[in-house]
Structure 1
């Protein structure tokens, strides 16, 4: 596995633990629809939360959350619609981003953006 893949998996594990500590119930990890993967799907207080996790080492290539551009948002929205149809879910949804930046010493900074973007295919 490439180093960036390992870093991504590490970030997803951190994000998952973070959400669970905040009272989210993780329903799916790395759920796929066609070519799109939703990193984490969770439920909290009746709201279905689709979470994109972006992880970087340092800030050499910009902030992690900047990688979730309009194209990525469009794909995530389509995949979320498929998930909702599959699970027959009709209540409130939300799209979040968890941005994690690891440092040389192994520590990290986590930034949780709730309602990062709105559905609107």
Structure 2
């Protein structure tokens, strides 16, 4: 079991690196990776876009679409946890509440990469 978990972690890290390269090519500046917000969740990537938004970016990878494609790969619980973690990040980094923020998702399906800007709204609770 430990070997499987480590290989999943390594694959996740590789896909996050691929997502970072994609984001940089599309005008993002990577600020941080793998921020842990207490018990809530982890922010895969925090970046600034060319419009000045602070973007919290979730990376989702699927080898193929046998178990579903992009749609439905992030459920409401995951969204709430990402939002809670983003709140922790803003507080921890003492970022002004006036800073525009956005939640984006990078979907990787095999070799295909898709960026969804403003993938979901902030979810309280």
TM-score, structure 1 length as denominator? 0.88
- 1:4–1:66: structure 2 CA closer, same or farther, 3 Å change rule? farther
| Matched residues, number | 116
Corresponding residue for residue 55 of structure 2: 49
On the 8 A contact 2:79/2:123 being kept in 1, the answer is: no
Corresponding residue for residue 120 of structure 1: 123
Counterpart CA distance in 2 for 1:55 and 1:6 is: 13
Give structure 1 stretches of 5+ with no counterpart: 103-107
Counterpart CA distance in 2 for 1:78 and 1:6 is: 25
Corresponding residue for residue 35 of structure 2: 31
Moved runs in structure 1, 4+ residues, more than 4 A? none
Task: Tell me the CA shift for residue 24 of structure 1.
Answer: 0.9
**Higher-strand-fraction structure:** 1
Give structure 2 stretches of 5+ with no counterpart: none
On the 8 A contact 1:38/1:52 being kept in 2, the answer is: yes
